[in-house]
Structure 1
Amino acid sequence: MEKIAGKIVTHEREFEGTISFDPNSGLITNVKEGIDPEAHQFSDGSVIFPGFGDIHIHAREDVSGKHTYKEDFISAGNAAINGGVIHVADMPNNPIPPIDDASYAAKQALTTKSPIHITLYAGIGPHTKPLEKKVPYKVFMGPSIGELFFHDNASLEEVIKHYVGQDISFHCEDPEILIANQTQPTHEERRPKEAETVATDFALYLIEKYNLKGKLCHYSTKDGLSKIIAAKKRGVNVTCEVTPTHLMFDTDMLTETNHKWFQMNPPLRGKEDREAMVKGILDGHIDYLATDHAPHSIEEKQKGTSGISQLDTYGLFVTYMILKLNIPMTTIAKICSKNPGEFVSAYLPEKFGKGVGVINQGYAANFSILNLKKPVEFQKSMVKSKSGWSPFEGFSFPGSIESVYFLGKEIHAK
């Protein structure tokens, strides 16, 4: 039996306590108030969170192997550990997407080499049908990487009607608005706010009509978020994500030099929208911090490919949220641990016991331990992702990652 002790934060409370766990079973055996002097304690300023989960990444590996130069399940796992993350959920827009039982199983077999747990989304595209097994799904409403997208809402609904009751995440950008704006001079103008807000209306309509368990990805607009809040209030089964980049950056900081590095879908918005995302977290309306980690190569970014590599800095960004954005640590435990754990709970193997994202007896002994008194400047040399770059290069975070535990064992990025 092993024990760790210190300041513990869950989605419900903060307390000084001791956690006992079995490194063989990988499960928590006891949690108690007070510091056991025999337990391992961490550096001054350390806080023990339930293991963080990033439920929106692009690990790039599939059976084709065509995109593993960008990332694979091993490098994505190491980037996650580097960022204090112990489980991720990988998106399906691969060269050979997981869209049926056979292609899903083939991709899932590749995940076993990762040093952490990887949940896979199955893709929804023209003419797809639900899998036999229970899995989460992702639908791209407008053009993205790969062919899993729809050119209009009618063809999307024709497919969604087969997925009644399923767990579906939506990338909300209206395809018709994107097509109408494709000749605009900047990336931000080619993917305007209206593309997100109009697509939000349609996604909420589908979620309500077909009784879906809906999740709306990487929210970036104040108006889009207000639509989600209103839908939640009327009982629609919907949750939403926000990325670190949409919480920290806005179009005011874009320059000729950095513009290509900060190109993503959806794009950066104005200051008002960024501030609305922060307020959405403080008010309890945003459910997940999810990176949308898109590890394109440096050469691809220089050519104008959309997507940002940011799994390596997940936990460091959490210290920024706590110490600079003044987000309560219990809220952090909710959107980085508890809610991601609940999202993947139906898809976890038995070895995770009662689940992940909670510090309680019978749950996986997964911990993300941050040091809120030890700042760190993030350097390019610290990146573990194969992409080899980060939008946060040279940024000084107010805290650092003290330790990461996965199934009762302390792990380190390689």
Structure 2
Amino acid sequence: MIIQGTLVSSSGTSHSQIRLEGNQIVETGSNLGKADYSFSDDCLVFAGMGDIHIHARDDVGESQIYKEDFCTAAAAAINGGVVHAADMPNNPVPPITDESYHDKLKHLEQRNPAIHFTLYAGIGPGTRPLSFAVPYKAYMGPSVGDLFFRTLEQLDETLSHYRGCNVSFHCEDPILLDEHANAATHEARRPAECEISATRFALQMIEKYELRGKLCHYSVGEGLPLIREARSRGVKVTCEVTPHHLYFDQSDLTDENRGKMQMNPPLRTVSDRKAMLAALRDGTLDYLATDHAPHTLDENEQGISGQPHLDTYGAFVTWLILDQKFTPEQAALFCSENPGDFVNPYVSPKKFGRIEAGYTASLTVLNLRQPVTIKREDMQTKCGWSPFEGITFPGSIEAVFIEGKRVR
């Protein structure tokens, strides 16, 4: 199969062709033959986009699949132009040992979803590393689920056993969360100081135990200099940012929408949101990661935190490119290349993130001239809603290829 169009990487764009054989890219160039698919100049062809922070809600116990499972998460991902995703471990049956991780992996394989999922293992009080390489997630304070730490000293002791591992941190200081637990609003119960304090501690842990660290769903502008300073000293840390922390802020909150607009960490100030956009632009933030959290609307109204975002990933990227003036090359870095680099050590023989020979033949094609209005009836996530309902993004998904086959 030969695909022709404007190909995008972090190093530039070019009108070129891609030749696919089976599930791999075998060649790129300008004269490979007659194209099976030719995309107009309105479109941009990216290496398949990856979301390295989602909650599929699926595990061997199946107690939460009423709101999502691996197959419906995959359908939502394809709807949003996402070709691979990494699933978080805060399940009712968490993957924290070799046995429980393999059980979840076997369960995933039995589901046989339409995209590739990488599974995080959980770190909790008293856990130990698995006997094989996986990415890990540490919840520094209470979030959705029971896999979290109540003190930073407890986290320090546990992390001492994970030296050299790939560990992602949910940065909220559990002691400060306790101190603010009785505040009037969700935002006041999880204030910026909780994230800043936890950022300092996470960076200390990453340096102390020589971790390959990642800070999840970053949201506070005041914490960004801490990250930059640590990197300048050689600390190996990367950072995510979510669509909701780039698009919404506390000025968008009303009494009517507060349930749907609750997440951990919460929405921040206008200046924090603008700081996240600037940090994604300058490379301080490395990944557009959704923290896709498919709770039902009833659950959100009852105070369960999280929003679903897989369905709208690619459309949101067109907003970044066309309205916020990010370059296509920047989008290729934080949507394709960096997510691919994150998962590739764990997905062999697959390789995601680049339009190059030897990489998996999965592609995301965005149409920058075809706006889309987000409608509830178009969502594929099982929970069936989006915080972007009624919003028109300036572009849309033109096509998605998964391992050599066009699926959209």
* TM-score clears 0.5: yes
Task: Find the partner of 2:359 among 358, 363, 372.
Answer: 363
Residue 158 (structure 1) aligns with = 157
Residue 98 (structure 2) aligns with = 101
Residue 7 (structure 1) aligns with = 6
Aligned positions of 1:264-283 closer than 5 A: 264-283=263-282
User: Partner letter of residue 241 of structure 2?
Assistant: V
User: Partner letter of residue 193 of structure 2?
Assistant: E
Rounded Cα–Cα distance in structure 1 between residues aligned with 2:108 and 2:331: 27
Report deviation, 1:38.
Answer: 3.5
Q: Deviations over 1:252-311 (max 9, x none)?
A: 111111111110000000011000001001111110000000000111011121101111
Does residue 394 of structure 1 match 2:394?
Answer: no
User: Partner letter of residue 358 of structure 1?
Assistant: R
CA contact (8 A) 1:174 1:199 kept: yes
CA contact (8 A) 1:124 1:138 kept: yes
Residue 375 (structure 2) aligns with = 379
Instruction: Report SS of the residue matched to 1:301.
Output: helix
Task: Calculate the aligned-residue CA RMSD, in Å.
Answer: 1.0
Task: Find the partner of 2:27 among 18, 25, 30.
Answer: 30
Aligned positions of 1:14-413 closer than 5 A: 14-22=13-21, 24=22, 26-33=23-30, 37-112=34-109, 113-350=112-349, 352=350, 355-412=351-408
Rounded Cα–Cα distance in structure 1 between residues aligned with 2:106 and 2:325: 41
Instruction: Report SS of the residue matched to 1:313.
Output: helix
Q: Deviations over 1:52-82 (max 9, x none)?
A: 0000000000111111111100001111001
CA contact (8 A) 1:140 1:149 kept: yes
Q: Deviations over 1:144-165 (max 9, x none)?
A: 1222111111111110000000
Report deviation, 1:44.
Answer: 4.8
Q: Deviations over 1:225-255 (max 9, x none)?
A: 2211111111100000000010011101111
Report deviation, 1:399.
Answer: 0.1
Report deviation, 1:42.
Answer: 2.3
Rounded Cα–Cα distance in structure 1 between residues aligned with 2:207 and 2:245: 27
Rounded Cα–Cα distance in structure 1 between residues aligned with 2:35 and 2:155: 58
**What is the TM-score normalised by the length of structure 2?**
0.98
Rounded Cα–Cα distance in structure 2 between residues aligned with 1:297 and 1:44: 39
Report deviation, 1:33.
Answer: 3.4
Rounded Cα–Cα distance in structure 2 between residues aligned with 1:279 and 1:34: 39
Rounded Cα–Cα distance in structure 2 between residues aligned with 1:44 and 1:15: 11
Rounded Cα–Cα distance in structure 2 between residues aligned with 1:202 and 1:382: 42
CA contact (8 A) 1:44 1:373 kept: no
CA contact (8 A) 1:6 1:41 kept: yes
Aligned residues: 406
CA contact (8 A) 1:5 1:35 kept: no
User: Partner letter of residue 384 of structure 1?
Assistant: Q
Rounded Cα–Cα distance in structure 1 between residues aligned with 2:307 and 2:243: 10
Return 5+ residue gaps in structure 2 as ranges.
none
Report deviation, 1:109.
Answer: 1.2
Q: Deviations over 1:182-203 (max 9, x none)?
A: 1100100000000000000000
User: Partner letter of residue 286 of structure 1?
Assistant: L
User: Partner letter of residue 89 of structure 2?
Assistant: P
Rounded Cα–Cα distance in structure 1 between residues aligned with 2:31 and 2:17: 6
**What percent identity do the matched residue pairs reach?**
50
User: Partner letter of residue 252 of structure 1?
Assistant: S
Rounded Cα–Cα distance in structure 2 between residues aligned with 1:141 and 1:186: 21
Rounded Cα–Cα distance in structure 2 between residues aligned with 1:398 and 1:17: 25
Q: Deviations over 1:9-47 (max 9, x none)?
A: 01211111000111x2x1011101368554421245111
Instruction: Report SS of the residue matched to 2:244.
Output: helix
Q: Deviations over 1:91-146 (max 9, x none)?
A: 00000100000000010112221110000000000110000010000000000122
Rounded Cα–Cα distance in structure 1 between residues aligned with 2:393 and 2:32: 29
Rounded Cα–Cα distance in structure 1 between residues aligned with 2:44 and 2:31: 14
Between 225-234 and 381-390, report the one with greater CA deviation. Answer: 225-234
Rounded Cα–Cα distance in structure 2 between residues aligned with 1:144 and 1:122: 16
Rounded Cα–Cα distance in structure 2 between residues aligned with 1:39 and 1:95: 45
Runs of 4+ in 1 over 4 A off after TM superposition: 34-37
